[in-house]
Structure 1
Amino acid sequence: MNQRRYEDIIRMHKDTIYRVCLGYIYEADLVEDLFQEVLIALWKSLSTFRGEARLSTFIYRVTVNTAISFNRKLKKHHWENRLEHSPVVYDSPADEITNKEELELLRSCIRRLEDQDRLIITLHLEELSYKEIADIAGISVNYVGVKINRIKATLKQCIQDNE
């Protein structure tokens, strides 16, 4: 792998990778750890990229797989305890949203979703097409549409319940 090419790819995709990491981890120090693991995984795996999918799809897949592995390493009770008792810190373009309370409520509701639903809504918020989401999540395009509608309904209910 050419280091210059790798640096260019990371420079172009770092914000997206970071936001996907936020979709899996909500504590600042753990997000940074996961982000670093993703960068290492990309370095190791980019040489195997054959161009059969778009590069961005490949990057999402590596990011998601790394996040899933990262979460498995954490002890479940430790993970839940840290989420409940730690302040949430964000440093991403999404923080430009003016109503921070509404954004925090949405993030809180997204945190409560099952892993696959969190992945799907995170990719949807990244404005990926249903086809791209389907490729990354390993489900059909039609099922992506069904899942997004269900997730939106779940999030809407969660927000209403917490207002």
Structure 2
Amino acid sequence: MDDNQKLFSVMVQQNKTTIFTVCYMFSKDQEEVNDLFQEVVIRLWQGFDKYKGDSKERTWIYRVALNTCISFDRKKRRHNKKQVYTGDELFGCNERDTQQKEILHKRITQLCPLDRAIVLLWLEDISYEEIGSIIGITAKNVSVHLYRIREQLKNMSND
């Protein structure tokens, strides 16, 4: 294994949870999440030599993961396949917490891909500035998006 492969392997290992979190926000099926994870890793590897450190490593990983998942989501929506929710494996919580998380996840997946990405990054406790850098908008625009998203989530039904 050469040095580049070692550096890449360490980077993926350190950011595995982040990548899985992004993938999970775009799919409800565990196999699909695993496939998305692999696709993100492939795209990261393809761009690894070109990554120059202009942005933080984490920002670059989020950007690649989100772009990969958004592209996947668009293709999936065109095919309009029905999926089964398998969130119980991810949360080891009591029944009430699990139900609330299922409702939140269901509502978030109804958002457009950009809004879903913004919510995901916000839930990861990333600053508005970094979210803006990842998404390609200003920090003020992130704030406006989050306000509108919160209102939209509040007004969604539990169906």
* Alpha carbons 1:28, 1:90 under 8 Å: kept: no
Name the structure with the higher helix share. Answer: 1
Identify unmatched segments of 5+ residues in structure 1: none
Find the partner of 2:21 among 19, 22, 29: 19
The superposition leaves residues 120-139 of structure 1 with CA deviations (integer Å, 9 ceiling, x where unpaired) of 00010011110111111111
**Residue aligning to 1:155:** 153
Find the partner of 2:112 among 95, 102, 114: 114
User: Are the structure 2 counterparts of residues 75 and 23 from structure 1 closer, same or farther at C-alpha, using a change threshold of 3 Å?
Assistant: closer
How do residues 94-105 of structure 1 correspond to structure 2 at under 5 angstroms?
95-98=91-94, 99-105=97-103
| Whole-Å separation in 1 of the counterparts to 2:109 and 2:145 | 16
**Residue aligning to 2:64:** 62
Residue 75 of structure 1 deviates from its aligned partner by 5.4
| Whole-Å separation in 1 of the counterparts to 2:26 and 2:153 | 16
**Residue aligning to 1:133:** 131
SS of residue matched to 1:49: coil
| Whole-Å separation in 1 of the counterparts to 2:28 and 2:50 | 30
User: Are the structure 2 counterparts of residues 5 and 91 from structure 1 closer, same or farther at C-alpha, using a change threshold of 3 Å?
Assistant: farther
| Whole-Å separation in 2 of the counterparts to 1:75 and 1:102 | 25
Between 1 and 2, higher relative CO (CA 8 Å, sep ≥ 6) is seen in: 1
SS of residue matched to 1:33: helix
* Alpha carbons 1:97, 1:103 under 8 Å: kept: no
Residue 7 of structure 1 deviates from its aligned partner by 1.2
Which stretch of structure 1 is more off in the superposition, 2-11 or 68-77?
68-77
| Whole-Å separation in 1 of the counterparts to 2:21 and 2:56 | 19
Identity of aligned residues (%): 35
Structure 2 length-normalised TM:
0.88
User: Are the structure 2 counterparts of residues 150 and 156 from structure 1 closer, same or farther at C-alpha, using a change threshold of 3 Å?
Assistant: same
| Whole-Å separation in 1 of the counterparts to 2:98 and 2:87 | 12
Residue 90 of structure 1 deviates from its aligned partner by 5.6
* Alpha carbons 2:121, 2:131 under 8 Å: kept: yes
Structure 1 length-normalised TM:
0.86
